Structure 1
Amino acid sequence: MMDFGEHAMTDEDLTAFLTEKPRFVAVATLRKDGSPFVVPVGYLYEDHCFYLTTAPDRALAHRLRRHPQVALTVFSDEWPVKFVLVTGTAEEIPDPDLALTKRKHRWMMSRVEGIDHDEFERNHLSLGRAVFRVRVTPGNLASSDVTKMQHVESEAATLPGERERAGL
């Protein structure tokens, strides 16, 4: 993975970013024909693992079972940007009492107002859930926290190697 040097997040920064508020992760998978497909999914991040849930018969579950290699991206939606990139293997794991699924669901819904959370959860869980885990290791992770750059407002502020990749 790419090394963003001094702009890379520490382990503490990474955990804080991924758990400070509910976000979505862009999950890149492969279709049957080999073409890439990206879908936003809610996640739970615990103990250096992403946990993703979906209905067991949804296309995402089928793609992950058929070809479990994934690329994940989580990013902030404001400047200066923070982002996390992970490549890895999605492993389907049991969740017989739905404890993990419920923790993930409650985490993602914690900031949503104006709906009946219990009813939404019942409807959501009525489809059944498949849980996939993607482990995060130093070798499959890249991250950047642009707030660590000096003069982030300046046009001159670039990430390491960005000018070369852009042909400048």
Structure 2
Amino acid sequence: MEQTEITEILNRPYARELLGRDLTRLAYVAADGTPRAVPIAFTWNGAQIVLCTTRNSPKLPSLRRNPQVALTIDTEVHPPKILLIRGRAELDDVDGIPEEYLQMNGSYRMSAEQRVEWEAEVRSLYDGMVRIVITPTWVKLIDFETTLPSAVEELVRQRAERQNA
């Protein structure tokens, strides 16, 4: 997929709305060769998806071995809005707490006092984290208004062909 097409899709209003959410599902191949899909907080910096995890996370050896990942960001309403992203994970070990981690967890409903307590707990627990940075190499937006899953698009086309025959 060309970068211009990726950019065009990611700049659509529904894609922007989905990129503003706080939770994605990260799919990768685990060390035992089986697939994993885990929910994880994220932030979009305008060009990349940034995830943060603990230095001892079981996903890190798997991502080092095979950095190809897929992400799903979606809504819980009907019809759903779905953003599918594929890319390559780059791992960046960071001392302290990455600013993105504090930012991505800023959307949870906390009082000012709870936020201070949460941040103090995070800073006392982690001496560092790993930033997982994913640059999209393929994207698809499914909004059930202008775009559909490819299998449904095929069925719509086949139905139209039958009706026109």
TM range (shorter): 0.7 to 0.9
Q: Deviation digits for residues 25-83 of structure 1, max 9, x if unmatched?
A: 10011111210011000001012210000001111223222221111110011112111
The root-mean-square deviation of aligned C-alpha atoms, in Å, is 2.9
Amino acid at match of 1:142: K
Distance 1:88 1:38 in 2: 15
Partner of 1:144: 142
Amino acid at match of 1:105: L
Aligned 8 A contact 2:50 2:100 in 1: no
Q: Specify the SS of the correspondent of 1:63.
A: helix
Aligned 8 A contact 1:18 1:45 in 2: yes
After superposition, residues 67-146 of structure 1 pair within 5 angstroms as: 67-93=66-92, 95-96=94-95, 98=97, 101-113=98-110, 116-125=114-123, 126-127=125-126, 128-137=128-137, 140-146=138-144
Q: How much has 1:107 moved relative to structure 2?
A: 3.5
Distance 2:117 2:58 in 1: 24
Aligned 8 A contact 2:22 2:43 in 1: no
Rg larger in structure: 2
Amino acid at match of 1:103: E
Aligned 8 A contact 1:9 1:144 in 2: no
Distance 2:70 2:55 in 1: 20
Judged with a 3 Å threshold, the aligned counterparts in structure 2 of structure 1 residues 165 and 55 are, in CA distance, closer, same or farther, namely farther
Distance 2:145 2:118 in 1: 37
Aligned 8 A contact 1:51 1:131 in 2: yes
Amino acid at match of 2:133: R
Q: TM-score, normalised by structure 1?
A: 0.72
Distance 1:46 1:54 in 2: 17
Distance 2:93 2:27 in 1: 22
Q: How much has 1:23 moved relative to structure 2?
A: 2.7
Aligned 8 A contact 2:23 2:39 in 1: yes
Distance 1:55 1:46 in 2: 20
Distance 2:144 2:40 in 1: 24
Instruction: Give the gaps of 5 or more residues in structure 1.
Output: 2-7, 150-157
- State the identity as a percent: 22
More helix as a share of residues: 2
Q: TM-score, normalised by structure 2?
A: 0.74
Partner of 1:152: none
